[in-house]
Amino acid sequence: MQLCVGAPYTLFPVRVGCTYVPPPVNLVDVPNLAVGEGTRCEYFSNGRTDLKTLGLAMNSGILGEDTGNGNKKSVSNFLMSDMHITSTTVGCILDLLERVFINPDHKTGFFPEIQKNLKRIVLAAVTLYLCLTGIKIMNSGGNLKRSDYLMFAIKLALVLYFALGNAWFSVDKNGKKVGIYYGITDGAQQIASYFMESQNMADPLGHCTYDYNNRNILSQRNIPITGDMKSTVGANGYITMTVWDLIDCRLINYLNMWTCNYSFAGLIAIWSITALILVSGIGFVLMIAMFVYSYMLLKILFKFVHIFILSMFSITILVAVSPIMITFALFDFTKGIYEAWFKMLLGYVIYPGLHFAFLALMLATFDNIYFGNLKLDSTSQSIFEQCKSKGSSESPICAIANNIEIGAGMTGSSRSIDNSIRDMCDMNIGHIIKGLYETLDLWILGSYTIMSSSVVDTLFYTMLKLALMAFLFFMLMNSISTFFSYLTGVESVAGLAKGDLSGAFKKAFGTAAKAPLKAIKSAAGGDSGGASGAKKGGSK
């Protein structure tokens, strides 16, 4: 196909030049593979419809009256927002692992195929075990106790049940997914939930706390749907809440400076970085501190998400090889391989959960710096009044509150406190921006929005402390992860950012796999040594 360029508007039309190009490719309709259909991956395009309906139910009173423990408006605003980053990501990965590995929709899955293909090997190993056990019983001369016979039978039954049965996963008559695999993946999140809920109770504002049925609604639990509520994808009749919902709530509150605005416009810690450039020398240093604080906080949190996902993937692989690994428990010379497998399975359940103890410690440190001596007093009319009367001006939340113009059009001494506004959740983003920022006119260059100098002076030392502690926790993260790996006896996955998981499994299984070979080699060495010794003695 020839493509030419011409100049038609000259005195005489001129052909500038031509070239040959391939013909255009016909558009091909790509079918919708629907890879994420039926999983929480759908929420990346559709939003968290389940959590939004839960937030609407809270506001309408379907979930009952406000218990007064926590901040109902803050939690409902968070549930109806789009700031569910880690919970949606982790939920999507877990659902995809379940679909590929188990496929509980009564179709052929990866694990059932493994069980089917290894059935003959398992039965052959069981037959060999029965033969060897029978020989052992015959050679014992009746010296075996009744408990020994019982242990032989129990070991055989357990191996058959866990290697060929449906102990790892099943679906009950109500459509609920049950089994050891679900218990393992949920157990790691339960351990994390214990640490995070304990730390969240110290939040004086209660922005991520609302009690429902005597438990925080942002915790590891299932909430039955009522009214117009929509269940979570894959959870029939329930809304699945995880510890990651609580982590998302805490993360967004650290980025919006606890102003109760769960939108991109409310990420004050992020947008303030650009608003501090033209303030002053202190403003420039504060800009660096806010950048370090925000970057390190996100880096640490996403590192924990990375560790958790890799741990769940490791657990899935370990469960996939369980039929053959459990069979190794029948024989003494292969028992070391089984013990190594079982140790890794337990270790990767505990390993990611322990990291949340470190995360809870970090958030507790941030809270202590951020809130200072601020303690929410139920007898106080508003947090603004408390900040002025209790001397909590060092807290950034009070620095923000004291600079917000409550009375519309009032400045300076004309500012007044509206008693109907108790905290930041009773205000819109316009009020907050008006109090935090001011306009700087640079004549020819135009007008720019900068942070108020009074806010800069108040936030300076606090943000420096937060940035320093965030950097220290970031530097400690790999060391803590290594410590937890030693504690649980598994390989650390914190440094496997490139996905090099083979080295970890090779090192972990290598020692156990070489143990039988070393035993055979030492036995052969002993026999040859004895034979050579006898020969040497005979020669003498």
pLDDT at 237: 82
Q: Are 369 and 375 in contact (CB under 8 A)?
A: no
Q: CB under 8 Å to 236, separation ≥6 — which residues?
A: 174, 175, 176
Work out the angle at residue 177's Cα, subtended by the Cα atoms of residues 171 and 182, and round it to the nearest 5 degrees. 130
In the chain, the amino acid numbered 185 is T
Work out the angle at residue 311's Cα, subtended by the Cα atoms of residues 307 and 312, and round it to the nearest 5 degrees. 120
What does DSSP assign to residue 39? S
- Other Cβ atoms less than 10 A from the Cβ of 19: the count is 9
pLDDT at 411: 44
d(CA 79, CA 292): 28
pLDDT at 88: 92
Q: Is the entire prediction scored with pTM above 0.85?
A: no
3-state secondary structure of 496: coil
Q: CB under 8 Å to 281, separation ≥6 — which residues?
A: none
527 phi and psi, to 5 degrees? -65, -45
Per-residue pLDDT of the chain (540 residues; tens, 9 = 90+): 777 877 666 656 677 778 777 776 555 454 444 566 778 888 888 888 999 999 898 888 877 666 667 788 888 889 998 889 999 999 999 988 888 777 666 556 677 788 888 888 888 888 888 888 888 888 877 677 777 788 888 888 888 888 887 888 877 776 677 788 888 888 888 888 888 888 877 777 788 888 888 888 888 888 888 888 888 887 888 899 999 999 999 998 888 877 788 877 667 666 666 556 556 667 778 788 888 888 899 999 988 899 999 999 899 889 888 888 888 888 888 889 999 999 999 999 999 888 889 999 998 888 888 877 776 665 666 666 777 665 555 677 777 776 664 443 444 444 444 555 667 777 766 667 666 766 666 666 666 666 777 677 777 788 888 899 999 999 888 888 889 988 888 887 776 644 444 444 455 445 444 544 454 455 555 444 444 444 444 444
pLDDT at 473: 92
What is the number of residues in the chain?
540
| Per-residue buried b or exposed e for 394-407, using 16+ beta carbons within 10 Å of the residue's own CB | bbbbbbbbbbbebe
Furthest CA-CA distance within the chain: 120
pLDDT at 30: 46
pLDDT at 90: 92
Report the Cα 270 to chain-centroid distance in Å.
22
pLDDT at 532: 44
pLDDT at 524: 52
